[in-house]
């Protein structure tokens, strides 16, 4: 029986906590947040839960709240990751987060290498596991890529394409935090290209693509994401020597973001207009409505109507098997907005990301993963990956696969 601290009572943390409530292997859930009301509201609906106010800026405060905890699920912004990791090491708890860690003075690749070397060493010495990047993308997609890569003798390229096509009549720029989303959009995307990490301008390499169930071509662009970074670092050992890895994103939210970027509105540089100083990014965020979080908010959006409710989550891996070219295209199937609301009272984004994060937590609750150290999901061993896919299917998350190989 495990005690789990869920740090952060937002959409993803709430989804994980509610699913843990149903797990017989969980005896106690600590719902922790700086916002005591948010923690209390979440805990109030769960029989195994108790609320705790935690100031994540203070490592010692996290440590005090985490005494006796077996697993810490970090659902906070990535700026808190290092503090939460230090607390997990101090109390010797397994650790999980949903996004890669920032380290001052290091770029994204350097920070990731640090996590997979120095932090990996420290977690191994403590005898516990830290799994980073455990949502849907990154997270689920990393497990899928590793599973498919195992079918190759050698991998040349890995493409991950996510099309977000849910657009409501009520203006919702993103179905997750607009602060995080717009900030990500303005960052330089990184490709793993010919065995090296290479940065490009935001919205680089636009291509038109077709996806099943979508009656037109979709414009896809390079997007700043963790997968090409972690997978590039892990390519030789875990992904059959892949030399080219890219993450693309597309949809109306991307088009909106690129328009704002081109006009300079995603800039963090202070400007002046008619004697008034302002920061364009802050101005955008001030006017951007938050993602619907509560059941009644999502219901209101659905009742008002949707313009489109479509999307695609695709992985394409190319390489060779038995000396012949091989291409495998995999698709992730998951509930759309209306179905996710009907199933769980949450959005499609919260459903796929939150349910995926929960599976990684359940993996640790049931001791389905024996590895120690600090790892990304593509490093998980076969038994843990099988556990993930079995649990995903129970939650209505399934996978289709198209194999293309020359017969002679």
- Taking the C-alpha atoms of residue 39 and residue 36, their distance in angstroms, rounded to an integer, is 5
According to the 3-state scheme, what is the secondary structure of 24-83? CCEEEEEEEECCHHHHHHHHHCCCCEEEEECCCCCHHHHHHHCCCCCEEEECCCHHHHHH
DSSP state of 157: E
CA dihedral 124, 128, 130, 136 (to 10 degrees): 130
Does 11 have pLDDT greater than 80? no
One-character DSSP codes across 167-218: EESS--S-SS-HHHHHHHHTSPPEEEETTEEEE--TT-S-EEE--TT-SS-E
User: Strand 49-53 and strand 26-33: pairing?
Assistant: parallel
Any idea what DSSP says for residue 239? S
- For residues 36-59, give the mean pLDDT: 92
How does pLDDT run across 187-205, given as a tens digit for each residue?
999 999 999 999 999 999 9
Q: How far is CA 170 from CA 257, 291, 295, 297, 341, in A?
A: 17, 11, 16, 11, 16
Q: How far apart are the first and last CA of the chain?
A: 54
Could you tell me which residues come within 8 angstroms of residue 367 by beta carbon, excluding any fewer than 6 positions away?
A: none
Residue 298: how many CA atoms within 13 Å on its side-chain side?
24
Determine how many CB atoms are found less than 10 A away from the CB of residue 311.
23
pLDDT for 176 equals: 87
Instruction: Spell out the domains of the chain, with CATH numbers in brackets.
Output: 2-97 (3.40.50.720), 140-339+385-405 (3.30.360.10)
> Residue 107 corresponds to which tokens in the numbers above?
């770029």
- Check whether 408 has a pLDDT greater than 80: no
pLDDT class of 388 with cuts at 50, 70, 90: very high
Q: Please, what is the average pLDDT of the chain? A: 95
What is the DSSP annotation of 113-147?
Answer: HHIIIIIHHHHHHHT-EEE---BTTTBHHHHHHHH
- For residue 98 the two structure tokens come to 């949903």
Q: What are phi and psi of 288, to 5 degrees?
A: -85, 120
Does this model's pTM top 0.75? My answer is yes
Task: Give the residue-averaged pLDDT of 154-159.
Answer: 98
Instruction: Give whole-number Cα distances, 80 to 37, 55, 87, 342, 398, in Å.
Output: 20, 10, 11, 33, 32
- Residues near 79 by beta carbon (within 8 Å), at least 6 away in sequence: 102
The pLDDT-based confidence of 384 (bands split at 50, 70, 90) is very high
Segment 43-51 shows an average pLDDT of: 92
Q: Which residues contact 347 (CB under 8 A, 6 or more apart)?
A: 11, 175, 291, 292, 298, 337, 340, 341
Rounded to a whole number of angstroms, the CA Rg of the chain reads: 21
What's the CA gap between 273 and 116, in Å, rounded?
A: 45
- Residue 100 has a pLDDT of 85
For residues 200 and 50, give the distance between their C-alpha atoms in angstroms, rounded to a whole number. 46
In Å, how far are 56, 98, 178 from 79, measured between CA atoms?
A: 10, 12, 16
């Amino acid at each position: 029986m495990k005690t789990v601290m869920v740090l952060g009572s937002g959409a993803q943390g709430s989804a994980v906590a509610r699913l843990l409530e149903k797990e017989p292997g969980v005896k106690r859930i600590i719902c922790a947040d700086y916002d005591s009301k948010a923690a209390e509201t979440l805990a109030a609906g769960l029989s195994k839960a108790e609320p705790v106010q935690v100031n994540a800026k203070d490592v010692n405060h996290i440590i005090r709240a985490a005494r006796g905890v077996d697993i810490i699920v970090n659902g906070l912004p990535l700026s808190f990751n290092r503090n939460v990791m230090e607390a997990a090491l101090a109390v010797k708890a397994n650790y999980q987060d949903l996004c890669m860690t920032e380290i001052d003075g290091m770029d994204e690749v350097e920070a990731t290498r640090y996590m997979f070397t120095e932090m990996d060493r420290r977690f191994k010495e403590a005898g516990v596991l830290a799994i980073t990047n455990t949502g849907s993308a990154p997270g689920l997609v990393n497990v899928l890529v590793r599973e498919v890569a195992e079918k190759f003798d050698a991998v040349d390229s890995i493409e991950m394409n996510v099309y977000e096509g849910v657009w409501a009549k009520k203006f919702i720029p993103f179905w997750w935090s607009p602060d995080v989303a717009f900030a990500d959009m303005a960052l330089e995307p990184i490709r793993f290209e010919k065995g090296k990490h290479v940065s490009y301008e935001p919205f680089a390499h636009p291509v038109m693509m077709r996806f099943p169930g979508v009656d037109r071509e979709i414009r896809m662009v390079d997007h700043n994401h963790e997968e090409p970074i972690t997978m590039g670092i892990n390519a030789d050992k875990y992904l059959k020597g892949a030399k080219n890895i890219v993450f693309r994103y597309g949809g109306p939210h991307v088009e909106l973001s690129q328009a704002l970027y081109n006009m300079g509105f995603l800039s963090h540089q202070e400007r002046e207009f008619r004697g008034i100083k302002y920061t364009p990014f802050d101005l955008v965020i001030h006017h951007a409505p938050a993602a619907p979080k509560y059941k009644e908010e999502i219901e209101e959006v659905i009742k008002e109507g949707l313009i489109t409710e479509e999307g695609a989550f695709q992985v394409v891996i190319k390489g060779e098997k038995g000396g012949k070219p091989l291409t495998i295209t995999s698709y992730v199937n998951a509930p759309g907005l209306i179905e996710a609301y009907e199933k769980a009272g949450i959005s499609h984004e919260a459903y796929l990301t939150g349910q995926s994060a929960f599976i990684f937590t359940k993996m640790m609750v049931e001791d389905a993963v024996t590895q120690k150290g600090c790892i990304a999901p593509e490093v998980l061993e076969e038994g843990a990956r099988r556990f993930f896919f079995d649990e995903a299917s129970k939650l209505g998350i399934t996978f289709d696969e198209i194999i293309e190989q020359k017969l002679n």
